[in-house]
Structure 1
Amino acid sequence: MLSFVTTAVLVRVAGPAEAGQVFFAQSLATVWFLVWDPRMEDAMQHFVPAAQRGGPGRGTRLYHRLLRVDVATGAVATVVGVAVAIAVAASGWLPDEQGTFLVLAVVAAGTATPSGSASAGYALADRLSRLGRIRVAMALAGCLGTLLALLAAGPSGYLAAGAVSGLAATVLLTVDACRHMRRACGVPRGGVDGEADREGDGGDDTRLPAGLVPFVMKSSVTASVAVAAENGVSLLAGLLGGPTLVTYLKVVAAPGRLLASVVNPVSAQLHPRLARARAGGRRAAVMRDALRSSAVTSAVGGAGVVVAVPLSGPVLGLVYGPAYAALATPAVVLMAAAALRGTVVWGKVLPSALGRPGVRLAFVTAEGLGLLGVLVVAVRSWSGASAVTAAFAWGSLCLVVFSTAGWFAALRSLVRAMPPPRGPAEPSRDPSTGDSPP
């Protein structure tokens, strides 16, 4: 929520054109890391509990191994990305100030790459409430630092402060998550980085769990496509319509993103519940949790839209400036789309919790391509940033209607495809492999 405050101040201080350059640079940096970030968090929540059943500390060992891969990949991608950004800026392809924005945006995005894996550690250790408190404190500190840097040094200070606060947050979350993982799952003999404990069942926990690499690839691509859909819109808007259109789209999407920030934490709470229900073959529990979350989030989203209808114009004018009050209608339309998407918030985690990450990949790919197509049609069919923004908003709402209907249809199919509960006489699967039925 506090990120909207800093965005509003940036638009006020820098104006729509320069703020659009900042958003464009951030979108480019995000697209760069979409390729390089392995996004281990879904794999951690799926495979670490199975590894833990093989003995004390084995889940901790696997978590640390995956975390190290995430950190190392992010560090390499950041160094290479900065080098590429400097080369692009030096070549003269971008204005000098835009090149500076791009370098800082790459650094800021790179510092945040391991944060998802750190958050998964809190979920595995059943410490999500602590994660929430830490994030609130870090958001307050980061917001204050970013505002001071923005007022003192303009957009460059805004991006530099984001890099510093992102690095501090990542280090803090990673260290704390590892500590709680050791407390919850134990430390294997020889320490987390020592020789694997082979005593007892004769297992070999130096091997990666069976199926982990394909699972990581599917979940990573899914997460990348989901992020690319949002940032690809800003990137394409900058290429086709210029920085002012980028700013307009950012402004009208703000109410919907605010609503999503309220609803999305539900998926983090659902993920471990759904995974445990799947492991026990409890189809009714999966269906019940999904539908209950839909009832709650639909009520929250509906109330938000009702409140936004009369207030969006005055609020946009107050926050961003009087000129932006005219964007009230597309802002409400995109908020309605966010509310509708929130009714299937379980779709973010249900496929991976059930061992079917490819299902979400299909959905986010279709919706992402649809959003880009809607933007292209809007730019080519209407003139002026305001008209294009309104057309994009209505097209996005229509797209989300079809996507939501598809998710409810997929829910029934996914639950019916779950494996039945194991009988008491059925031999258990080898816990050291972390394998799971399709």
Structure 2
Amino acid sequence: QFRELDGVLSEIERLQQEIDSENKMASVEASIGEGAEGMAAVSPGSAAEGGESQGKQTMHYMISGVEGKMLGEIDLEGRVVLKEDLIKNMHSLPNEMVGDGNASRRVNTGYRRVNHGSGESWCPNSHILLAKNRQNEIMGHHNLVKKTGKLFDHSQCTIGDEAKRWMAAFDMHAYGASDEGKVMAHAGALSAFLTVQLGYKISPGDIGRALPSRATQASMEFNLAADCLIKVCHEIKKDKARHLGLITDHGHRGDQDHFVKLVIWAGFDEDENWTMKYFCLDVDSGGHSALEAAVAVKKSVTAFQDLLNEVVGERVEIKVITGDSGGGAKVQSLHPALVDCDVMDLDSQLKPCGLHGGVKPLERACVETVGAQGIGARTPIQLSWLFVRLMKYLRTSLDRKGLDDLWKSGVEALSTNPTWQRQAKEHSQHGQMGFDSDS
């Protein structure tokens, strides 16, 4: 009997707890309804089959636009969360967001449910939920637009020094163009891309003020030339070259006389292989006599050598020269004039002879063995040279896979195409026999 009485009392106590919980929930809902608006999201710590949540859960909530702290994992089964507990665990607002005006704005802010990963979240109606990577992408585009706009909101050119070097380098291809013509080309390119293609609202006056003036263009070219000189000096220093060659050439194009001066030296490419390197010092009108050409060369070389010697740390000399074999400034006349002008020394007379002495025996041996070289001559040396040139061009134009595919196509054509096989037998019978034996 006592056990039955204990069971009845336990059932009465359980029912009373449920009634008390329902009463408390009703009072909380009424108090929240009378005061600030709020919303909450509950995420289960674990879920049973059928979608029913069980165990402890985590609550996130918001009251009048103020976010509440995460209450931690709580067991909501048979529990009541009081309004006082929610207010107590709300995040503190910054000072600039405290006040009656801000409170009324928060109360009047509307919210909507938005997808957030595998769940949902509350978001103000005036905002959108955005992932961080997408936000970074949008801000990057926004900053790019702002930078573009800043180029056109000043009274003078604000283009950076690096961009000016690029413009000056490409202006070199507009040979013979006036400064005004270059400005109009720049303006036309900007107008076409920004206003016509992209739709920016930029006036012609803004474009004109953003572009460099004639004086700025001159400074751009001087700065580019200085950068090129410094770069070449350090490259010569890295290559440990102490003897340079000089190449000159006269020309007449576009109703203008041209006197081109290049320096040449032995250095290393990006793969640390030996190669010949060239650098054009300048192009001027010069003169067609040996003395006039020598004076022009001295003017260009002296400034370059002074800078080069300072960068390298020791004297770098010009030892050989190559140029035209005819005319007033032919190399036979120009070299003595350069010696008289102290551009080259007497030792430079011996270098070409030594080089000529080393090349001539090889030339004669090749001629006696396979015949003379030149236009119309077909020799194994020219065939090898053409093959190397062709393969070099293909390597620069195609990647490794493209070159392999092209090679396979050639092998297949030689194996199956009668026209290719007939041409190979007529012009390279020995090679065709070797190909047939290998295949």
TM-score normalised per structure 2: 0.19
The structure number with the bigger radius of gyration is 2
**Greater fraction strand:** 2
Higher helix proportion = 1
Whose relative contact order is higher, 1 or 2, with alpha carbons under 8 Å and at least 6 apart? Answer: 1
What is the TM-score with the length of structure 1 in the denominator?
0.19
